[in-house]
């Protein structure tokens, strides 16, 4: 009699572990199905995003070409406008002073003033070239990797 209850307990334990294994297999399969569905959804979303990026890039390149053409057409207009303004200022000085020399001096000074302002701006912009912020950030990262205290800019 004592052998029968022990055999029954052992059979129940085996049935219980088999049931647990079956439940684990079912939950693993369900998890795998969910992960597969999520992966497919992510791939579809990524494909749509890549397609949208491609189309938007094409639109942007078309707009950039048009902007370049308008900018090229705008350059002579701006140049002629500046020269016209200089001539007007020179004419007003000539009209007030009745001196051609003062009119020409006014026109020349306006052109030199513009050249000086543009040279100053070009020098300032030239100093700003060189990815200073990126270099400073990379330097701070390297200092952090090497264990040095990072410096602040």
CA angle 136, 140, 143 (to 5 degrees): 135
Look at the pTM and tell me if it is higher than 0.95.
no
Average of per-residue pLDDT values in the chain: 87
> For position 119, what pLDDT does the model report?
96
Residue 138, domain member (yes or no) = yes
Give the tens place of pLDDT for each residue, 125-153.
888 887 777 788 888 878 877 877 766 65
Query: Looking at the structure, do residues 112 and 148 belong to the same domain, yes or no?
Result: yes
Query: Looking at the structure, do residues 105 and 59 belong to the same domain, yes or no?
Result: no
Query: Looking at the structure, do residues 18 and 64 belong to the same domain, yes or no?
Result: yes
> For position 136, what pLDDT does the model report?
82
Residue 88, domain member (yes or no) = no
Residue 26, domain member (yes or no) = yes
Query: Looking at the structure, do residues 105 and 68 belong to the same domain, yes or no?
Result: no
The answer to whether 110 touches 92, Cβ cutoff 8 Å, is no
- Percent of the chain residues past pLDDT 90, beyond the cut: 47
Give the tens place of pLDDT for each residue, 10-24.
777 777 777 777 788
Query: Looking at the structure, do residues 67 and 104 belong to the same domain, yes or no?
Result: no
Candidates 105, 111, 112; CA nearest to 85 is 111
> For position 123, what pLDDT does the model report?
93
The answer to whether 90 touches 106, Cβ cutoff 8 Å, is yes
Residue 119, domain member (yes or no) = yes
Query: Looking at the structure, do residues 46 and 107 belong to the same domain, yes or no?
Result: no
CA angle 137, 138, 140 (to 5 degrees): 65
* Number of domains making up the chain: 2
Q: What is the CA radius of gyration of the chain?
A: 39
> For position 77, what pLDDT does the model report?
96
Residue 123, domain member (yes or no) = yes
Query: Looking at the structure, do residues 56 and 109 belong to the same domain, yes or no?
Result: no
Candidates 124, 120, 153; CA nearest to 139 is 153
DSSP string over 82-93: HHHHHHHHHHHH
CB atoms within 10 A of CB 127: 9
Distance CA 90, CA 107 (A): 5
Number of residues that make up the chain: 153
For 64, the domain range is 8-77
Distance CA 51, CA 92 (A): 60
Distance CA 12, CA 5 (A): 10
- Residue range 83-110: average pLDDT? 96
Residue 152, domain member (yes or no) = yes
Where is pLDDT greater, at 150 or 107?
Answer: 107
Query: Looking at the structure, do residues 12 and 67 belong to the same domain, yes or no?
Result: yes
Query: Looking at the structure, do residues 106 and 73 belong to the same domain, yes or no?
Result: no
Query: Looking at the structure, do residues 60 and 28 belong to the same domain, yes or no?
Result: yes
Residue with tokens 């009119």: 103
Residue 148, domain member (yes or no) = yes
> For position 19, what pLDDT does the model report?
74
- Residue range 57-80: average pLDDT? 93
Instruction: Look at residue 70 and tell me whether its pLDDT is greater than 70.
Output: yes
Q: Which of 1-5, 38-42, 69-73 has the lowest mean pLDDT?
A: 1-5
Residue 1, domain member (yes or no) = no
């Amino acid at each position: 009699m004592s052998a029968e209850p022990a055999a029954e307990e052992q059979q129940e334990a085996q049935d219980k572990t088999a049931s647990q294994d079956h439940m684990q297999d079912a939950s693993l399969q369900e998890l795998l199905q969910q992960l597969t569905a999520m992966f497919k959804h992510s791939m579809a979303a990524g494909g749509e995003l890549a397609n949208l990026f491609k189309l938007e890039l094409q639109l942007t390149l078309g707009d950039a070409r048009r902007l370049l053409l308008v900018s090229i057409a705008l350059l002579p207009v701006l140049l002629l406008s500046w020269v016209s303004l200089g001539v007007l200022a020179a004419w007003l000085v000539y009209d007030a002073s009745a001196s051609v020399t003062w009119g020409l001096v006014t026109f020349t000074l306006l052109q030199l003033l513009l050249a000086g302002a543009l040279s100053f701006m070009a020098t300032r912009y030239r100093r700003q070239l060189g990815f200073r912020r990126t270099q400073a950030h990379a330097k701070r990262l390297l200092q952090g990797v090497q264990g040095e205290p990072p410096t602040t800019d």
